Structure 1
Amino acid sequence: MDRKTVAIVGGSGYAGGEFLRLALGHPGLEVTQVTSRRFAGEFVHLVHPNLRGRTSLKFIPPEKLEPADILVLALPHGAFLEEYERYLGLGKVVLDLSADFRLKDPALYEKYYGRPHPFPEELPRWVYAVPELYRERIRTADRLAGAGCNATATLLALYPLFRAGLLQPRPVFVTLLISTSAAGREAGPASHHPERAGSYRVYKATGHRHTAEVVENLPGRPEVHLTAIATDRVRGILMTAQAFLLDGWSERDVWQAYREAYGQEPFVRIVKQKKGLFRYPDPKVVEGTNYIDIGFELEADTGRLVVISALDNLVKGTAGHALQALNIRMGWPETLGLDFPGFHP
């Protein structure tokens, strides 16, 4: 296999560090550069101790970045936009893990990010890197925009139902229980241990930014409302959505919709067991993996359908689906470097 060089910008954060972990174990990738202003000159394993013995790389300042076959940007939202042309010139394939180019509709971007997009003409050139939805577009894309973790958990769970036309034209209400690592590496008062430990805090009751990704990528642009609750788990998202089936449809039809959409997908598992401890998706089961587990329960007398999904926010929610998309783009097996099955217990 012809190895491709990879440079990771913003490699000291959780998203960049997770992509680095996956890339170091990938037979087709050679990580040559990892940037960090704060830790420039320090060994990577000073910040990511799980990588001791896996790499002798040191962080470099972003100003010293040299061209690579693949450039992975793991910067805070908006930072890529400040040096857009420079970074584009440093990678033959550019993979952005931030929200800067996820949306195609400039009006949606302005609504949820509070300012006009500085490069609206560039938005159509980026492919939303969700393999289950846009695999064919990803194959030929040189600009890939990674999805948001909450958007991934919601979008993949609901997409088959809207595609099959099973739901009533009513608002869908989504609740997301989110882990601490989703907030990023930088600490603040809300992440201080005495304040966060044991806490379940509603931090975004309305207007969550990932709503825009969900609405834009679901068939028919339905009305979907997200509420985000911060937990004290380190990794993982548990999503529940409340929707209503059209009259005349049954649980069998729901099963069929998921089978048609995901029957051949390597990282989507439909979880619906009648007995045992694991009858529904659980973030603990998918921790460290690129799987998303999806389940559902129908309240037959009302038609209320409760849809449940679980994923690791740093893997399937961020770096994992990005690497999955990169595998597709490079013509490699889609599961390459992503076959870790998780832990139990």
Structure 2
Amino acid sequence: MGRTAAAGRSSRGPRLARLRTGHGQPGGPRVLREAAGPPGVQRAARSRRAGGRLPRCPGTPARRGRRALPMSSAAHPLFLLGARGLLAGEFLRLLDGHPCLRLAGAYARSAEGALGQSHPHLAGALAATPLEEASALADALKTTAQAGGPAPVLLLALPHGASAPWWAEHRAALQAACPALVVVDLSADFRLESAEAYQASYALQHPCPDEFGQWIYGLPELHPVPEGSKRIAVPGCFATAMQLAVVPMARAAQIEATEPIIVHGVTGSSGSGAQAKAGTHHPHRAMNFHAYGLQGHRHEAELLSPRNALPQGCALDFTPHSAPLSRGIHLHAVMQASAQADEQPQAVLETFCADKPFLEAVRQAPQLRHIAGSQRVQLHAYRRGRLLHVLVALDNTIKGGAGQALQALNLALGLPETTALPSHGLGY
């Protein structure tokens, strides 16, 4: 089973508010699956798998000879709210290689400066893109919709508890003016199944509880993102790792609920966002390793959500740890094996991962250096008596954040899910 190559490299037209979708730290590929869509898109996926051309946005002109034509106006205009944050910067880096999306506006609380000042790793015209006032975003979206063309996209890269109030204020006007608008939210505000579950996990009253049930949960490996989806809630980073470790085993009847699922997870400092805090400041973090969230972590609710249909009475005991590294999550889940559980659980993982381009069932313990900088997830499973162990490694800023948002968005737009997403890790 060969690994997927990164899809879609093309020139990008530039432009972002503030992001903190951290996971609550103190202080703060296998086989390319053809996405559902028009035959042309499916042919593009097959071509890419065979080492052919990259997928082309429907309606864009083909290359003639060796000269690449400029991006067509058929590319979807993308507006970014929360442009100063860490995941926003990671999303922009990925967006710069996307053939079917163009940055139409970057918005923040303050319009001072350009993107490059918040994200020095960006270069060229993208870095020079000026920030715009967040208050101007709704009007910009309406103007774009009135001009016609491909459906606009809005990426909400705001802190937990900030996306929902913004959407509650603007949704009626935007839905009337931009019925085709696709909204992708990186915060936790629309991930759970009810306002009650949200309040229990985040201690916040939800401003628009009628929205629950209207948002697709953007973890494509476990929950389909249909083409044409208009609202996507992107899972949390630890939540992604926990679900990929536990849910495949539950679906294959490998676990039982007589004992709680024990999970230990280790994360890098990027999970706390772009702003330095006491618990994430380098002198506190370097040469240090510690547990936190000992009385519960808010990402637990995503694994225990009814959508995952875990065995009745299943309990979870999750302990997150802070490690002296900048990116990556390494997670270890221990479950009670069911009476009919396979003696070789790795085979269960291999079957599950076989048609999922970013999941890789490896035959040894996953390593962060193999997946850091990529959308790829490595998984390994083994038995010790009645206990079933699953190890997971992923990049929290890509598969656990910005890359997951782009993967789900690709599917919603009818594109191969691999478009513009890196499958190779940094290595060193």
TM over 0.5, shorter chain: yes
Change (3 A) 1:79 1:249: closer
Q: In structure 1, what is the equivalent of residue 348 of structure 2?
A: 257
Give 1:87 shift: 4.5
1:196 aligns with 2:285: yes
Q: Deviations over 1:189-248 (max 9, x none)?
A: 212222221111212123100000011143236312211111111000000011121234
Q: Tell me, in whole angstroms, the C-alpha distance in 2 between the residues paired with 1:140 and 1:4.
A: 13
1:269 aligns with 2:360: yes
How many residues are aligned here? 334
Q: In structure 1, what is the equivalent of residue 247 of structure 2?
A: 159
Give 1:46 shift: 1.4
Give 1:340 shift: 4.1
1:236 aligns with 2:328: yes
Tell me if the contact between 1:97 and 1:147 (Cα under 8 Å) persists in the aligned partners: yes
Q: In structure 1, what is the equivalent of residue 30 of structure 2?
A: none
2:209 corresponds to which letter in structure 1? P
Q: In structure 2, what is the equivalent of residue 93 of structure 1?
A: 182
Higher normalized strand content (fraction of residues): 1
1:11 aligns with 2:65: no
Give 1:121 shift: 1.5
Tell me if the contact between 1:206 and 1:226 (Cα under 8 Å) persists in the aligned partners: no
1:50 aligns with 2:50: no
Instruction: Please give the residue correspondences for 1:1-345 in structure 2 after superposition, counting only pairs within 5 Å.
Output: 1=57, 2-38=74-110, 40-53=111-124, 55=126, 56-65=128-137, 66-67=140-141, 69-88=152-171, 89=174, 92-135=181-224, 137-169=225-257, 170-216=259-305, 217-220=307-310, 222-252=314-344, 254-272=345-363, 279-299=364-384, 302-345=385-428
- TM-score normalised by structure 2 residue count: 0.75
Give 1:25 shift: 1.2
Give 1:337 shift: 0.1
Change (3 A) 1:305 1:23: same
Look up the SS of the partner of 1:308 in the other structure.
strand
Tell me if the contact between 1:202 and 1:230 (Cα under 8 Å) persists in the aligned partners: yes
Look up the SS of the partner of 1:313 in the other structure.
coil
Tell me if the contact between 1:289 and 1:341 (Cα under 8 Å) persists in the aligned partners: yes
Tell me if the contact between 1:324 and 1:335 (Cα under 8 Å) persists in the aligned partners: yes
Unaligned runs of 5+ in 1: 273-278
Unaligned runs of 5+ in 2: 1-56, 58-73, 145-151
2:324 corresponds to which letter in structure 1? D
Tell me if the contact between 1:8 and 1:20 (Cα under 8 Å) persists in the aligned partners: no
Tell me if the contact between 2:164 and 2:206 (Cα under 8 Å) persists in the aligned partners: no
Give 1:126 shift: 0.6
Tell me if the contact between 1:289 and 1:316 (Cα under 8 Å) persists in the aligned partners: yes
Look up the SS of the partner of 2:388 in the other structure.
strand
Q: Tell me, in whole angstroms, the C-alpha distance in 1 between the residues paired with 2:320 and 2:380.
A: 19
- TM-score normalised by structure 1 residue count: 0.92
Give 1:178 shift: 0.8
RMSD, matched Cα: 1.7
Tell me if the contact between 1:36 and 1:60 (Cα under 8 Å) persists in the aligned partners: yes
2:398 corresponds to which letter in structure 1? V
Higher normalized helix content (fraction of residues): 1
Tell me if the contact between 1:129 and 1:138 (Cα under 8 Å) persists in the aligned partners: no
Tell me if the contact between 2:161 and 2:204 (Cα under 8 Å) persists in the aligned partners: no
Look up the SS of the partner of 1:326 in the other structure.
helix
1:307 corresponds to which letter in structure 2? V
Tell me if the contact between 2:373 and 2:422 (Cα under 8 Å) persists in the aligned partners: no
Q: Deviations over 1:30-69 (max 9, x none)?
A: 001111224x231211121111125131111101221160
Which stretch shows the higher mean deviation, 96-105 or 197-206?
Answer: 197-206
Q: Tell me, in whole angstroms, the C-alpha distance in 1 between the residues paired with 2:158 and 2:170.
A: 12
Change (3 A) 1:27 1:202: same
Q: Tell me, in whole angstroms, the C-alpha distance in 2 between the residues paired with 1:321 and 1:289.
A: 11
Change (3 A) 1:87 1:291: farther
Q: Tell me, in whole angstroms, the C-alpha distance in 2 between the residues paired with 1:263 and 1:54.
A: 39
Tell me if the contact between 2:218 and 2:235 (Cα under 8 Å) persists in the aligned partners: yes
Q: Deviations over 1:264-299 (max 9, x none)?
A: 000000011xxxxxx211122111100111112211
Q: Tell me, in whole angstroms, the C-alpha distance in 2 between the residues paired with 1:263 and 1:235.
A: 26
Look up the SS of the partner of 1:125 in the other structure.
coil
Q: Tell me, in whole angstroms, the C-alpha distance in 1 between the residues paired with 2:289 and 2:414.
A: 43
Q: Tell me, in whole angstroms, the C-alpha distance in 2 between the residues paired with 1:249 and 1:77.
A: 38
Q: Tell me, in whole angstroms, the C-alpha distance in 2 between the residues paired with 1:19 and 1:242.
A: 33
2:351 corresponds to which letter in structure 1? E
